[in-house]
Structures are given as C-alpha cells and as structure tokens.
Chain A
C-alpha cells in the first residue's frame, strides 16, 4: 500500500446525476461534511467549508480550491494548504471524486493523495490548528456516533 494516498470505492443505488448533485452542491455538502459550505464549482474556483469547533464552540473553516469539474464524472479539489497560500502539490492534498455509472447505480471512487510531500508548508499557528484535521475528525466522530456506520 502506498502511504501517499487514501483510495476508496463504493457503490451507490442512485443514478450518476443524483450522486453528482450530492457530491457537488453546497446544501448537500453541508449535510455530509460540514455545517455550511460555499463552492464556486469551476476549475480555479474557491470553496469554503465551515464548522463549529468542538473545542472552542466558535466557527472554524477549511478552504479548498477546485481543480477539475467534469460533470457528472469528475470533481477534484485541493485543500489543507495554509490559509492565504496558493495550493499546489507541495502544500496541499488533492481529493478526486470519480463517478461511474454501473447499470442504474453509480460507482464512486475516491482518491486523496499528496501525503508523501517533502515540504510541510508553513508551520501553522495555534489558531490554524483549530481549523484543521483535529476539528474535522472530531466532527466526523460525532457523525459516526449519531449514525450507524458500517465497517
């Protein structure tokens, strides 16, 4: 297994256009991912996922930059780069979501890559930590506790 990437595939009993809208529309993203989301869905467009921090109760944000949009087959973005920095392969992770029709269903393929990069980017401040993965994972643990999650 490569340490550089996370790779997953699931099959969804819904047509590809429905899955596309769930994956890319902010009001849907707000329910599978964050409290609220904004997204300029075109290459180079910016997105912003807002959370409520579990530790402070205050707002926290993850910025993302759209890389590729090929409806209804491919949505790719970069994230976790330091705030204000231009995301590239040295300072961010690339998330690619690929959709493929499988009869009436859809296969959704996820790759998150870039873990093996040499440069860790700027050292983040304490304030930035609060907008990062710790908050994020805490949030997901809440989800996991609320809903029966397989595996």
Chain B
C-alpha cells in the first residue's frame, strides 16, 4: 500500500468524517481491535464499521492483521500524523493564497491611483 501517495484532500476527508474519527479514537485508545468489538462501543452496525475500516485501510490510516479467525485493526500512526497535519496544511495554503490576493489587489489599486 503506497500510503505516502494518497492525496492530502482524500486523507483529510478520511479522518474528519465523524464516525471514522470515533473509530480512530477507539483504535488509538485500545491499540488494536476487531470489527465486532468496535461495533459494540458505537451506535452503528458491524457492516458500517467494516465499510469505514475498508476506507481507512485503503488510505493507509489503519492496518489489518489476521489473528486466527479474527482480523485485528490498528492505527498506522505515521499516516495518522500526516492526516492530522494535513488539515493545517490546507488552511496554511489558503493563508498564502489570500496573502497573494491581498498583495495583488493592493498593487492594482495603487497603479490605478497613480494614473488618476
């Protein structure tokens, strides 16, 4: 799984959706858990938990490990760190864009003032 290759925006969407955030919280708290155990702690079905875990696995946020008949999930901490930083990066990107807009608009305005 090329976890470094998931784009930032997909990664942010993966962690910010409320149910997935809860699942990640539970996994971080427990270290490792199964679909059944996770569903017990949440007001959603096993199927729903499973679906969210598949998504989280696809973007590299969780790792699945077979243990006998069970699949045990845990958080990929590196990717999780990357995701939590990402929302901040997206916000910082807007700060830079807005800063450019400000510089440009003020320069255009100054040019017009000079002409009159």
Q: Is B3 an interface residue (CB 8 A)?
A: no
Interface-forming stretch among B24-32, B33-41, B63-71, B93-101? B93-101
Query: Interface majority SS on A: helix, strand, loop or mixed?
Result: mixed
Q: Verify A13–B109 contact, CB threshold 8 A.
A: yes
B105: chain A residues within 8 A (beta carbon): 12, 14, 18-19, 22, 106
Q: A28 at the A/B interface (Cβ < 8 Å)?
A: yes
Chain B residues positioned under 8 Å from A126 (CB to CB): 5
Q: A19-B101, A23-B101 are in contact. List 15 more A-B contacts (CB 8 A).
A: A3-B16, A3-B87, A6-B90, A6-B91, A8-B98, A10-B101, A14-B109, A15-B109, A18-B105, A117-B17, A118-B19, A120-B55, A132-B8, A133-B90, A143-B96
Q: Is B116 an interface residue (CB 8 A)?
A: no
Report how far A8 CA is from B94 CA in the complex, Å.
Answer: 8
The 8 closest A-B pairs by CB, nearest first: A132-B7, A14-B109, A32-B100, A133-B8, A14-B105, A3-B16, A115-B16, A22-B105
**B101 and A140 form a contact (CB under 8 A):** no
Contact A149–B99 (Cβ < 8 Å) = yes
Contact call B104/A22, Cβ cutoff below 8 A: yes
> Which of A28, A110, A123 is close to B104, meaning CB atoms less than 8 Å apart?
A28
Cα distance, A27 to B102, chains bound together (Å): 15
CB distance from A103 to the nearest CB of B (A): 13
Q: Are B97 and A32 in contact (CB under 8 A)?
A: yes
Tell which of B19, B58, B93 touches A136, judged by Cβ atoms closer than 8 Å: B93
Count residues of B near A (Cβ-Cβ below 8 Å).
39
Query: Any chain A CB within 8 A of the CB of B78?
Result: no
A85 CB-CB contact with B under 8 Å:
no
A51-78 vs B: 1/0 string, CB under 8 Å? 0000000000000000000000000000
Whether, in the assembled complex, A35 has its beta carbon less than 8 Å from a beta carbon of chain B, the answer is no
Q: Is B115 an interface residue (CB 8 A)?
A: no
Q: Is the CB of B100 within 8 A of A31?
A: yes
CB of A129 closer than 8 Å to a CB of B: yes
B5:A18 contact, CB within 8 angstroms: no
Q: How far is the CB of B87 from chain A (nearest CB, A)?
A: 7
Q: What's the Cα separation between A115 and B14 when bound, in Å? A: 8
Q: Is the CB of B7 within 8 A of A124?
A: yes
Check if B14 sits within 8 Å of A120, measured CB to CB: yes
Q: Is A144's beta carbon under 8 Å from chain B?
A: yes
- How far, in whole Å, are A128 and B5 apart by their CA atoms in the complex? 11
CA distance A151 to B95 in the complex (A): 8
